[in-house]
């Protein structure tokens, strides 16, 4: 399975157009949150419509920057994976949108307890799959989550969940400057960085998982 992953789009429809050839070649497109810049449903519709022009096989979660109406739109389209699990070609995907609390008090933040509950709800639907992928806007605390100020912006509950569950791959975003790939407790954690700045991930899932960082000229 070939997956194209983007996070922190923030309304950058023009970058989607430039990434069109890569998007169209994927078996599945993953959108790991922060779809919008102005936080509205209308902007989310424009972004998702731009992706659909190249590929309509989409799984997505909302980000902390996206208001609840964005999550509702994704659910209506059948793309949302927040608190849900889905099996595609024998690979189990489950998701978590929003983020843990931030100093900025952004649009969609959850307590660590709420995040654990959403993770548990989604995982139940995929726990018997040989390969399991978590799509979480927020990275695990201490892994690909370091901000420019040196602070850790990840979630304690996501970290604990990875420690205690069998998860092959965690696709995340949220902290733009922390883009990269790191192994943690048997899970490959891949932060796509800022798609608005041209950063994205190409993934191949087979017996093994290969993740490659890509850069779209902008």
Residues in the chain: 218
| pLDDT reported for residue 160 | 98
The total number of structural domains in the chain stands at 1
β-strands 187-191, 180-184: how paired?
Answer: antiparallel
The encoded tokens of residue 180 equal 């990269």
Query: How does pLDDT run across 135-182, given as a tens digit for each residue?
Result: 999 999 999 999 998 889 999 999 999 999 999 999 999 999 999 999
Residue with the bigger pLDDT between 151 and 91: it is 91
Query: How does pLDDT run across 194-203, given as a tens digit for each residue?
Result: 999 999 999 9
| pLDDT reported for residue 133 | 98
Which of left, alpha, beta for 198 (phi over 0: left; psi -120 to 50: alpha)?
left
Q: Indicate if the pLDDT at residue 100 is higher than 90.
A: yes
Range of 211's domain? 2-215
**pLDDT confidence bin for 192, thresholds 50/70/90:** very high
Q: What is the pTM of this model?
A: 0.97
73: CATH: 3.60.21.10
In whole angstroms, give the CA distance from residue 138 to residue 63: 8
């Amino acid at each position: 399975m070939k997956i194209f992953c983007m996070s922190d789009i923030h309304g950058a429809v023009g970058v989607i157009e430039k990434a069109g050839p890569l998007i169209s070649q994927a078996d599945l497109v993953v959108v790991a949150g922060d779809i919008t810049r102005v936080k509205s449903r209308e902007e989310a519709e424009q972004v998702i419509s731009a992706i659909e022009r190249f590929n309509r096989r989409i799984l997505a979660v909302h980000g902390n920057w996206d208001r609840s109406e964005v999550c509702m739109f994704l659910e209506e389209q059948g793309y949302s994976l927040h608190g849900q699990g889905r099996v595609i070609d024998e690979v189990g995907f489950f998701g978590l949108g929003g983020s843990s609390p931030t100093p900025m008090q952004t649009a969609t933040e959850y307590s660590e307890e709420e995040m654990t509950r959403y993770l548990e709800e989604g995982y139940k639907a995929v726990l018997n799959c040989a390969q399991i992928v978590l799509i979480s806007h927020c990275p695990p605390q201490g892994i690909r989550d370091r901000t420019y100020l040196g602070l850790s912006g990840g979630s304690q509950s996501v970290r604990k969940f990875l420690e205690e569950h069998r998860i092959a791959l965690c696709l995340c975003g949220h902290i733009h400057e922390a883009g990269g790939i790191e192994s943690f407790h048997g899970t490959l954690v891949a932060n796509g960085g800022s798609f608005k700045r041209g950063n994205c991930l190409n993934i191949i899932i087979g017996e093994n998982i290969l993740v490659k960082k890509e850069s779209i000229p902008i």
